[in-house]
């Protein structure tokens, strides 16, 4: 099983955090011990013990259907091959040897072809409510990452034009992934790579120069491969206001260079402004021009040569990337002596690892899909371990309105800018909708739905649940009870209704949902989880009167459950970069 980056996807039981995680770890240990006893008793072959050790752990997961228990183990299915036995017989042999004394397990059952289902004690599950109330904003956080530094580089759009909607999607995905990694105990650094060097900046400068000349009544032509959006005219006007007099005394080449730098700086500031508006703040803005110097490129080439991965052919210098899984070798230095962009990119990644990162995650656009293998091969050629570089491809976005492609922008010569999207539907809906599907899937973004102020709108639906709870907790008959929720523990056993138990069960999953989403690099899990919690709460609210009259203990228990739900909704929305309103 792999994640979207093609890296091994850790099974959920590996995280083992929070109340449910602790139960999973305990159950996994009990299964391992039972396998050993069954092997000693002869009900399982001796190979079973070694087979389980080879599997790494007795995998325990959370079933999608609660009728199949709170936890389930597929260990019998995984042991069937090595043991040469039907998985159900293995499940029965393990179940007969299970010692669950002292564990929060009420009962077990063997089901299907070879599952072992575990039903947790309602009393133990209900204690999750008190745990959440005590943890507050920290609920969902863990130390799975043990402080390991991870760099997440995302968006990194060329500073030759405004950010578009696919950049906005990358911003939502990358920022949320970094937040998930932090919550899972890693130390995530957000980085933006500014491509402010090379031919694109020269073309940008010549494009601005052409528009600047037109502003002064001279005929000019945008160069081949240049930039034609109306924003180029805006840049030309801004340049003229600041440097117009000086520009008249420059040669055309000097003007193009000056205007290229000016335009790049202006675009970078525009990117920063729109990303900050979107809730994305980077730790590092890394300039290619300032950092990927000729010296850095030469040192990178020398290191690759020392490691024996470079050769010369037809006057060019090549990297033997086929050694590391690429389909063909790649040119590092052209026959005219000019370094390729690929070599500059390798130098940049070499610098990432020299800064102490053992894990580096790049988010690239769909047009860079073909470069993944060569970049991973280059990092391997630098001596980094397999998996040190992960590359996630963030796929295209189509803006839809009335079932047809939307035409939002009146500015010719460019894609729909991120700014126009934010002006139209706002930050919350944009971020939530971008996270509703896996980043490696194409996304049809329904603008009409995103603007709808009804529960049909997914982000409104989740935010409404948070606002509804906040309204309940503000009611006069609830205020006194809310102040004493730290004393609600003995009354939680009154929460026995199916809707109450289903909601508690989903709240208990949150720490592992966070850790699993971080490890699998799948931030879209958060929106799905938040929607599940909102659905469970709305069912609870419709089934069970929260401010029940004549039964203060039950009222306090339900208020405690409502308050715990609000914490989980707020924490999950915060990780998504979406607000949690108190009223709507």
pLDDT interval class at 483 (50, 70, 90): confident
Q: Which residue has the higher pLDDT, 484 or 203?
A: 203
Query: At the top level of CATH, which class does the domain 12-120 belong to?
Result: alpha beta
Residue 324 is given by DSSP the state G
Domain 149-195+284-393 has CATH 3.40.50.300: no
**Angle, CA of 342, 346 and 348, to the nearest 5°:** 115
Q: Is the pLDDT of residue 411 over 60?
A: no
Within 13 Å and on the Cβ side, how many CA atoms surround 59? 16
Over residues 150-192, the pLDDT tens digits come to 999 999 999 999 999 999 999 999 999 999 999 999 999 999 9
Burial grade of 402 (CB within 10 A; 0-12, 13-18, 19 or more): exposed
Measured over the CA atoms of residue 431, residue 435, residue 439 and residue 444, the dihedral's sign is: negative
Q: Is the pLDDT of residue 45 over 60?
A: yes
How high is the pLDDT of residue 396?
94
Average pLDDT of the residues of the chain: 92
pLDDT interval class at 410 (50, 70, 90): very low
Residue ranges in 137-198 assigned as alpha helix (H): 165-183
Which residue shows structure tokens 């995103």?
A: 450
Contact call for residues 573 and 466 (beta carbons, < 8 A): yes
How high is the pLDDT of residue 412?
42
Q: Which residue has the higher pLDDT, 67 or 541?
A: 541
Which range has the worst mean pLDDT, 66-80, 265-279, 330-344, 418-432? 66-80
Contact call for residues 509 and 64 (beta carbons, < 8 A): no
Please count the other Cβ atoms lying within 10 Å of the Cβ belonging to residue 582.
14
Residue ranges in 336-417 assigned as alpha helix (H): 341-354, 372-381
Distance between CA 187 and CA 177 in Å, rounded?
A: 12
- The residue ranges of every structural domain in the chain are 12-120, 149-195+284-393, 199-277, 455-576
- By percentage, how much of the chain surpasses pLDDT 70? 95
Task: Classify 446 as helix, strand or coil.
Answer: strand
Query: At the top level of CATH, which class does the domain 455-576 belong to?
Result: mainly alpha
How high is the pLDDT of residue 2?
38
Overall average pLDDT of the 212-228 stretch: 94
Distance between CA 541 and CA 500 in Å, rounded?
A: 9
Over residues 63-111, the pLDDT tens digits come to 878 788 999 999 999 889 888 899 999 999 999 999 999 899 999 999 9
Over residues 509-533, the pLDDT tens digits come to 999 999 999 999 999 999 999 999 9
Burial grade of 555 (CB within 10 A; 0-12, 13-18, 19 or more): buried
Q: Is the pLDDT of residue 414 over 60?
A: no
- By percentage, how much of the chain surpasses pLDDT 90? 81
Please count the other Cβ atoms lying within 10 Å of the Cβ belonging to residue 90.
26
């Amino acid at each position: 099983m792999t994640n979207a980056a093609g890296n091994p996807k850790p099974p959920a039981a590996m995280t083992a955090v929070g109340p449910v995680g602790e139960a999973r770890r305990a159950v996994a240990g009990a299964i391992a011990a039972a396998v050993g006893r069954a092997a000693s008793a002869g009900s399982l072959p001796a190979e079973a013990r070694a087979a389980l050790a080879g599997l790494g752990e007795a995998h325990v997961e959370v079933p999608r259907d609660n009728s199949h228990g709170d936890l389930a183990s597929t260990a019998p299915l995984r042991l069937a091959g090595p043991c040469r036995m039907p998985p159900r017989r293995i499940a029965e042999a393990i179940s007969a040897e299970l010692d669950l004394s002292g564990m929060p397990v009420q009962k077990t059952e063997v089901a299907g072809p070879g599952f072992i289902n575990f039903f947790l004690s309602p009393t133990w599950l209900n204690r999750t409510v008190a745990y959440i109330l005590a943890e507050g904003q920290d609920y969902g956080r863990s130390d799975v990452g043990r402080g390991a530094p991870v760099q997440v580089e995302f968006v990194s759009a060329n500073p030759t034009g405004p950010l578009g909607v696919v950049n906005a999607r990358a911003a939502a995905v990358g920022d949320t992934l970094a937040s998930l990694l932090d919550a899972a105990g890693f130390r995530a650094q957000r980085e933006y790579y500014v491509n402010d060097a090379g031919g694109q900046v020269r073309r940008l400068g010549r494009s601005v120069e052409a528009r600047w000349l037109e502003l002064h009544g001279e005929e000019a032509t945008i160069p081949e491969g240049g930039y034609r959006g109306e924003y180029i005219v805006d840049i030309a006007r801004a340049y003229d206001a600041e440097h117009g007099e000086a520009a008249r005394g420059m040669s055309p080449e000097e003007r193009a260079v000056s205007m290229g730098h000016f335009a790049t700086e202006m675009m970078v500031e525009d990117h920063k402004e729109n990303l900050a508006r979107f809730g994305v703040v980077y730790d590092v803005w890394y300039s290619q021009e300032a950092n990927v110097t000729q010296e850095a490129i030469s040192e990178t080439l020398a290191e690759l040569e020392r490691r024996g991965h470079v050769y010369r052919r037809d006057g060019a210098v090549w990297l033997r990337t086929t050694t590391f899984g690429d389909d063909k070798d790649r040119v590092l230095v052209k026959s005219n002596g000019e370094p390729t962009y690929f070599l500059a990119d390798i130098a940049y990644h070499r610098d990432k690892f020299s800064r102490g990162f053992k894990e580096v995650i790049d988010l690239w656009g769909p047009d860079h899909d073909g470069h993944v293998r060569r970049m991973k091969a280059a990092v391997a050629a630098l001596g980094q371990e397999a998996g040190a570089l992960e590359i996630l491809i963030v796929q295209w976005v189509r803006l839809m309105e009335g079932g047809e492609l939307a035409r939002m922008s009146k500015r010719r010569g460019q894609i729909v800018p991120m700014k126009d999207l934010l002006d139209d539907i706002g930050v919350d809906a944009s971020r939530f909708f971008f996270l509703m599907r896996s980043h490696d899937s194409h996304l049809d973004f329904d603008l009409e739905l995103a603007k709808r102020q009804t529960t049909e709108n997914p982000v409104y639906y989740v935010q409404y649940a948070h606002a509804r709870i906040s309204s309940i907790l503000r009611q006069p008959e609830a205020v006194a009870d809310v102040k004493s929720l730290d004393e609600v523990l003995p009354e939680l056993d009154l929460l026995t209704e199916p809707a109450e138990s289903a909601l508690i069960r989903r709240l208990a999953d949150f720490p592992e949902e966070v850790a699993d989403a971080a490890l699998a690099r799948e931030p879209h899990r958060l929106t799905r989880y938040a929607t599940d919690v909102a659905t469970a709460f709305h069912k609870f609210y419709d089934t069970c009167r929260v401010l029940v009259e004549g039964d203060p203990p039950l009222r306090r228990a339900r208020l405690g459950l409502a308050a715990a739900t609000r914490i989980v909704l707020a924490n999950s929305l915060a990780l998504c970069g979406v607000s949690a309103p108190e009223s709507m």
